[in-house]
Chains A and B, each alone.
Chain A
Amino acid sequence: MKKLFVTIVAAFMLFSCGQKPLYDYRNYDNTTYSYLKKNDEKADQNLAETYESIIEKPRGERNTVPPGIYADYGYLLLQLDQTEKGKKMLAREIELYPESKIFIDRILKKLEE
């Protein structure tokens, strides 16, 4: 009886509120905060590592790279003078999320100017 009770409660909790996250962001919140606030070499490096980790091994329910990650990584690379790799990342954002095309194309066009 005790088993049945535990099973019912566990199943209810699981189905009523439980939801596996769509994406895995690693330590995104803290590294982005440091990047925004400190804006030094170490913060840039930590953020680049976070982006690379998310891109190389995407996890979560969708098992893909979350929205904006390729593009923001591309932007960071542009700041670090890695222009070609940065542009490649921006293009990947459009491939994965075509709704980003209006904005990203505008950025790519600016880079060509």
Chain B
Amino acid sequence: MKRTIIIASVFSVLIFLSSCSFNKSLKKDVYKGFYDEEKLSILIMPPVNNSTKVEAKEFFHTTLNIPLAEAGYYVIPPFLSLEILKQESAYDSENFIDGNLSKFAEVFGADLILFTTIHTWNKSGLASVVIVDVEYTIKDAITSEVLFNRRGNIKYDTRVSKGSSGSWIGAAISLTANAISTAATKYVSVARKCNDYSLAPLPKGKYHPNHNLDQEEYAGPAHFKANL
């Protein structure tokens, strides 16, 4: 009996290590800026696409909203804000990523600004496997200080559909969508999985039950490689 419990415990720890991101640094140290002052709202800037995959910008842009809202943040309405960014000639995020962001705080009421840079998007030898090098930078809208930065080299096999993390129903629909598989649906899944995985260590926002309770959790490495 005792032996079984020990084996079960060891097995459980192994599952935990393999299923959750693991790194020695804690969120309260790496993402200190999120805990020092409450950050509530976040503006998604149009992704910067340095890859040769033209549609990658849209694949990422349409899939950033859910992981941020699921982390407990108020996400500035993505399409309405996109329209205003276009009107104000602020559609090309690369022109603003290193600049003063206070104007965005003023116009959108944003506490945080997310910049996404797609460095590369390549297919491997097998057409179904996509390898993406993508970087996420979240800056304080008032001070322009970098509060979160992660860059991942992510390999994703589009034959293995894993659904939408934001929705049980969505997962079922997504599975159906993949069964009828259009290229776009497949690649939206790639971007969604990259976003979900990379933004997972983000400190939880006001609308999440773990808000301010996740400080002792591991932050995950700033640079990582992942097979999804």
A: residues with CB less than 8 A from B are 1, 4-5, 8-9, 12-13, 16-17, 21-30, 32-37, 59-62, 66-69, 71-72, 74-76, 93, 97, 99-103, 106-107
| Chain A nearest CB, measured from B115 CB (Å) | 18
Other than the given A1-B1, A32-B78, A101-B109, 9 more pairs (CB < 8 A) read A17-B20, A21-B166, A23-B70, A27-B170, A28-B170, A30-B177, A30-B188, A61-B209, A103-B81
Q: Which residues of A contact B84 (CB under 8 A)?
A: 107
The 9 closest A-B pairs by CB, nearest first: A102-B109, A68-B77, A71-B77, A12-B12, A32-B62, A75-B80, A8-B8, A33-B62, A72-B77
Check A13–B15 contact: CB distance below 8 A. yes
Q: Which residues of A contact B19 (CB under 8 A)?
A: 13, 16-17
User: Does B184 interact with chain A (Cβ within 8 Å)?
Assistant: yes
> Tally of A-B residue pairs with Cβ under 8 A?
158
Check B41–A93 contact: CB distance below 8 A. no
A37 to B173, CA, bound (A): 20
| Chain B nearest CB, measured from A79 CB (Å) | 9
Q: Which residues of A contact B209 (CB under 8 A)?
A: 61
Check A33–B169 contact: CB distance below 8 A. no
A47 to B148, CA, bound (A): 31
Q: Which residue of A lies closest to B71 (CB)?
A: A22
| Chain B nearest CB, measured from A54 CB (Å) | 10
A107 to B164, CA, bound (A): 31
Check B168–A24 contact: CB distance below 8 A. yes
The secondary structure that dominates the A interface is helix
Q: Which residues of A contact B177 (CB under 8 A)?
A: 27, 30
Q: Which residues of B contact A106 (CB under 8 A)?
A: 107
Q: Which residues of A contact B65 (CB under 8 A)?
A: 28, 32, 68
Q: Which residues of A contact B137 (CB under 8 A)?
A: none
Q: Which residue of B lies closest to A10 (CB)?
A: B12
A8 to B8, CA, bound (A): 7
A75 to B81, CA, bound (A): 10
A29 to B161, CA, bound (A): 14
| Chain B nearest CB, measured from A83 CB (Å) | 15
